[in-house]
A and B are shown apart, each in its own frame.
Chain A
Amino acid sequence: MVGIALYIVFFLTVVSIYAIIVMGLNLQWGYTGLFNAGVVGFFAIGAYGTAILSGPDNVRLIGGFELPYFIGVIGGILIAAAAGLIVALATLKLREEYLAIATFGISISIQLVALNFASLTGGANGLVGLPRPFYQFFTEPSVYSVFFLCLVLVFAAVVYVALERAVRSPWGRVLRAIREDVTAARSLGKNPTMIRLQSFVLGSAIMGLAGGLYVGFIGFVSPIDFLPILTFQIWAMLIVGGSGNNRGAVLGCLIVWGLWTASGYVISNLVPPGFQSRAGALQAMLIGSVIVLTLLFRPRGLIGEEDVISTHAGASATPALQADAAEKG
């Protein structure tokens, strides 16, 4: 039983970190309609930023500034936000598909920089011995795991509450207006370019925060942590959970990552010895089919977008809108 509890703590820590990234993507795609296919790039920048600022000194590396962990995390967030700003300025004029291709390319470039700029990032070997917050105060690793889970949950909760407030504010309604009809939003005197820029930068900063937490969790970072498949996993979480809904984003994380990991357990227990080495492909097929089935039966995700998000809208408006949505759905 202790073992299972330990595993659940571990699992939930990973899910919470991913939930933060998915909420960042939800702000960009779910609310603003910005197709960011380079999620992993901003996650990587946050992770490397934190690692370089807070990592141990090393004669062979430029980094290793040994700053306190949380200063490192803030630094990672700021660097990820700056990267988001540069990318946004360069690409936000592009329409959806083109923005996707551009951001995908950028995330690959970021991973390649991490692989090749060895004097900063440690190259293929990565950076080792990175600090974990408050680790020295704990003697029992399992107690520390619980503590770290709580820490990540606090960050996830702060991001969740802040985003919920933001998207229910007038600013949040402009995001949706821009997503649905840029021309209409502009005709109402809104500045779509500025609002999109804000949404993209804020989303990137949130992804950077997740990167910093990931570094604190693992104590190690290397380019292989940031393969393009992670972007796909994050997108699958958002789409399955329900894009345009933060609760959906979090639920999607739980479901998709749970499926991803449970399928490995199930298959290694189901497949007879001797065929274990061939079972990897089965796992990929199982994951794929469940995602496809979810999308077929639940195209808007498990929890779709709410029809009314404004805190100011009266209750009387709600039933009519819901009926309208039911017709559409």
Chain B
Amino acid sequence: MQKNIYSALAAVTLAVTGGSFAGTASAQSSDCTYPLGAVLSLSGSMAAIGGAIGDAGQLAVDQMNEAGGMLGCEVEYRLRDDQGQPNVGIDAAMSLVSIEGVEVLLGAIQSGITMPVLTSVAVPEGVTQISCCSTAPNFTELAASGDTQGYWFRTLPTVRPQGFVMADIARERGYESVAVIYVNSDYGVAMTEAFNDAFTAAGGTVTEMVPYNQEQASYRAEVSTALATEPDALFLVAFPADGATALREWLSFGGTQNILLSNALRATEFIDAVGAEYLQNAAGIDNAQFDGPSVDAFNAAWEERFGSAPEGPGLHTMYDAAAIAMLAAQKAGVYEGAAIRDAVREVTGPGGEVINPGPEGFARAIEVLAEGGDISYVGATGPIEFDDYGDVSGPYLIWGVSEDGELTQVDTWDVERVNELMQGQ
């Protein structure tokens, strides 16, 4: 067996040395390199989407190198597999940070892996972490408590801004008191909390917040509880089938037709089930797709590289995470976690020269930064602006229902308007 151990050791040693040779070979275009670390699920339960998300990061790194590299050096993309397991993920992150000298970590995909990487690697080691894909609301809570020390960012919008926009609409319509009936899931809880925070801050009263469990035959108890508080309006955070059941009971008990609806209810089946005539005074919110040259630039680059349209979760947001990481390091002038953390908000948000995805965009960014100018990265997901907790907002649309039961678009909220609202609170 001793022999076996030795041969195994020899194989590992050989592999490691071989690896460093490969590293040197790829770095020939410039004499220095910086590692950019990513921890994603390439195998395990998220394997189906993880590979493509990894490719999106690779695309951004390749384009940066084409543009001349980060801080004059070639960027080496160090992608590690977390196998869908937190223990493997934190080990990969720790090895990237401590052995390979990574100062920015991208990832992970599942919140249950992203969180331990953040709390046990990124924050203690002073490394900036940008996730493409983790939506759990407890990241916002952790950031608000100060425990992330500002090292945490994510490029995927959370539901929190939606709650704020709905609170603004409620005030605009003159509602003084609103009751909320919401689905008992992390989505429903987060939306309701955000609405409550914003509406209360704006001087309104949330009379009651009633959770409901999905797929019940009737929601009489929940509806009665909400109705007993006699609110000016109802905010229903639900999915179509359950939402229709609850709203019909609400209306049949004589509840008000001043109704606010969440994004998942923007469906004709919901409107047909409730009846369009009762929804004339209803307003809902939904995510809007951002269109513009920056999105087209990413889509075109992806199609050219991989021969298919960039369809699938996390591609646009992962590309933006990688691009922001590299641009922030460029802005910071030094490859160091805390400096990159502080520079992230300086290369995003409005105010600077607009930088689009692609080698030309990155080359222009390097040029402007070298001249001491400001840049404003507008990414594959559109304009990006991180709030105090490292979250971003998306563009939204406000919808209503016409007399013949069609969905109508009442208003649009672009990212600037959402951010203005979020900051005003």
Q: List residues of A whose CB falls within 8 A of some B CB.
A: 3-4, 6-7, 10-11, 14, 60, 122-126, 128-129, 141, 144-145, 217-220, 222-225, 227, 229-230, 260-262, 264-270, 272-274, 276-281, 283-284, 290, 293-294, 297-298, 302
Contacts and interface: CB of A to CB of B under 8 A. Distances in A.
B80 to A, nearest CB: 5
Given A125-B138, A225-B86, A10 B94 contact: yes
B186 A123 contact: yes
B217 interface: no
B43 interface: yes
Nearest to B65: A273
Interface in B16-37: 16, 18-20, 22-23, 26
A218 B120 CA distance: 5
24 contacts: A3-B101, A7-B99, A10-B98, A11-B91, A124-B111, A126-B112, A126-B115, A222-B111, A222-B115, A222-B116, A224-B85, A224-B86, A225-B116, A229-B83, A230-B85, A261-B92, A261-B95, A262-B12, A266-B15, A266-B19, A268-B79, A269-B22, A280-B81, A284-B83
Interface of B: 1, 4-5, 8, 12, 15-16, 18-20, 22-23, 26, 42-44, 47, 50-52, 54-55, 58, 61-62, 76-81, 83-88, 90-92, 94-95, 97-99, 101, 110-113, 115-116, 119-120, 124-125, 136-138, 141-142, 145, 147, 186, 189
A302 B186 contact: no
Contact of A14 (B79, B81, B91): B91
A143 B115 CA distance: 22
The 7 nearest A-B residue pairs measured at CB: A269-B19, A280-B42, A224-B112, A277-B54, A280-B43, A141-B124, A280-B81
B77 A129 contact: no
Nearest to B8: A290
A222 B26 CA distance: 39
Given A224-B112, A273-B58, A280-B43, A3 B98 contact: yes
B58 to A, nearest CB: 6
Contact of A227 (B62, B80, B84, B97): B84
A273 B43 contact: no
A277 B186 contact: no
A113 to B, nearest CB: 16
Given A218-B86, A222-B116, 18 more contacts: A124-B111, A124-B112, A126-B111, A128-B142, A222-B112, A224-B110, A225-B112, A229-B85, A266-B16, A273-B58, A276-B58, A277-B58, A279-B42, A280-B43, A280-B51, A281-B43, A283-B83, A284-B83
B186 A124 contact: yes
A273 B94 CA distance: 21
A7 B95 contact: yes
Q: Which secondary structure dominates chain A's binding surface?
A: helix
Contact of A273 (B1, B77, B120): B77
Nearest to B53: A277
A218 B50 contact: no
Contact of B4 (A14, A272, A298): A298
Contacts of A229: 83, 85
Nearest to A233: B87
A259 B52 CA distance: 26
Nearest to A227: B85
A53 to B, nearest CB: 19
Contacts of B125: 6, 141
Given A276-B77, A279-B42, A266 B12 contact: yes
Given A3-B98, A280-B83, A298 B91 contact: no
Given A218-B120, A222-B112, A262-B12, A277 B52 contact: yes
Given A125-B186, A277-B52, A264 B4 contact: no
A126 B186 CA distance: 11
A293 B5 CA distance: 11
B70 to A, nearest CB: 15
Max count, chain B CB within 10 A of own CB: residue among A141, A268, A274, A277: A277
B120 A219 contact: yes
